[in-house]
Amino acid sequence: MPPRRAVPPRRFLFLPAPQIAALCRSGARALRRAPETMNDIGIEIGADDVDVDAVVARIQKAVDEKIAAGVYADARLAAAERTNLAQLKNDEQFAGFYLRCLRDAVYVDISDFEIRERRARFAPFLVRLKKGIWSLLKFYTYRLWSQQNQVNGLLVTGLESVDEKYAEKIRALEARVAELEKRLGAASSPPAEKGG
């Protein structure tokens, strides 16, 4: 299968550097995941008998493996799921999946970037103009986004810590319940019959 199209970066020349970097990252990610298409799951079907339960089970297994491998750790997914949160919150893997998406999106790239011009005519002039505009905006933009990065990072770290804390608490409670059930079972089991 040919590699899929990445978002053409030249359309975003007038965007701030962080957005360009984010778009390039997502484009690169799309290219990286290109070989992992549905056909790799290799669903065998007969012409007149499709077992959709089996098809869905197979898809879900393959998708779960891909999620675990980080294939879907993509900020665009977190955005796409904004109206599906009520359904997803019951999914055991939801918190981990969503947090991975957030972690991937949390730091806005504020490093500098190459300014180019796709129009040949007046290109040197336009490049100089853009560089001039960017040099005026850079100070304010860096200051703003570095603070935003700090807030984003703290929020995700906080969420991860809450998630880990409660996961640990639940594990401890489950172990305790299992222990209590074991003891209760031992105490209430009828005495073994004698003889025989």
Q: How far is CA 3 from CA 30, 63, 119, 186, in A?
A: 9, 20, 27, 61
Contact set for other proteins, span 107-166 (CB under 8 A): none
Q: How far is CA 77 from CA 16, 59, 68, 87, 184, in A?
A: 22, 18, 15, 15, 46
> In the numeric block, which tokens belong to residue 28?
């690169």
Cα 129 to Cα 125: distance, rounded to the nearest angstrom:
6
Q: Tell which residue, 29, 15, 128, 27, has the closest CA to residue 71.
A: 29
Q: Does 77 sit near other proteins (CB under 8 A)? A: yes
> In the numeric block, which tokens belong to residue 69?
């491998």
| Binding range to other proteins, per CB under 8 A, among 81-89, 114-122, 143-151, 169-177 | 81-89
Contact set for other proteins, span 10-69 (CB under 8 A): 26, 30, 33, 37-39, 41, 43, 45-53, 55-56, 59-60, 62-63, 66-67
| Phi, psi of 36, deg, nearest 5 | -90, 75
Q: Does 74 sit near other proteins (CB under 8 A)? A: yes
Residue 8 or 153 with smaller CB distance to other proteins: 8
CB 81 within 8 A of CB 98: yes
Residue 12 or 94 with smaller CB distance to other proteins: 94
- Min. distance of Cβ 35 from other proteins in angstroms? 13
Q: Does 179 sit near other proteins (CB under 8 A)? A: no
Select the residue interacting with other proteins from 10, 35, 42, 83 (CB under 8 A). Answer: 83
Instruction: Return residues touching other proteins (CB under 8 A).
Output: 4-7, 26, 30, 33, 37-39, 41, 43, 45-53, 55-56, 59-60, 62-63, 66-67, 71-72, 74, 76-77, 79-84, 87-88, 91, 94, 97
